[in-house]
Amino acid sequence: MMGLKTLLLASLLGVLEVTLAASSRHAGFLPGSPHNISRNDRGLKQVVLTAAYSYNNQSNDAFLFRPSAIHRAQRQVVKGVRYIVDLEISRTVCRKRDNNKNLSSCDFQPDGRLQQTLQCHFEVWLIPWQNKTKILDLLCKP
């Protein structure tokens, strides 16, 4: 008798799981999976700046780069929040040696030989309750 109840319960759970997965797929979102977010998302703006500062710290360029366009942005909730972003960063007129801490005040390079834009992919993991930000991946190329 107990085996039959267990089998019935397992079957019901299987049907429920398939039903939930199907309904979530129709809504375009599976819990725990990355989903597209607005480019105006407040958290996104912060992680994009974090990625730009990280790129500038690693680069040997004499000028600072700042975000110029976001092509794709996703967020995933996994023991914190993981952002997956494809964007462009462009060279500014601000020199690194000037220690300019506010990238938004730096204008982009005008048309000419110093103008440069890079295509970047990055992943940042925020763990708010630990006040941690980890850059998981940061790859930029011309």
CATH (domain of 128): 3.10.450.10
Contact 96, 63 (CB under 8 A): yes
* Mean pLDDT for the chain overall: 83
Range of the domain at 124: 32-141
Residue 8 shares a structural domain with residue 37: no
- pLDDT band at residue 129 under the 50/70/90 scheme: very high
Question: Using 50, 70 and 90 to split pLDDT, how confident is the model at 8?
Answer: very low
pLDDT single digits (tens) 48-107? 999 999 999 999 999 999 999 999 999 999 999 999 999 999 999 999 998 877 898 999
Pinpoint the alpha helices (H) of the chain: 2-27, 42-58
Query: 84 and 27 in one domain?
Result: no
Higher pLDDT residue, 1 or 103? Answer: 103
Between 4 and 134, the higher pLDDT residue: 134
Tell me the pTM: 0.74
The secondary element (H helix, E strand) that includes residue 135 is strand 132-141
Half-sphere exposure in the Cβ direction for 87 (13 Å, CA) = 26
One domain for residues 75 and 9: no
The count of structural domains within the chain is 2
What's the pLDDT at 99? Answer: 81
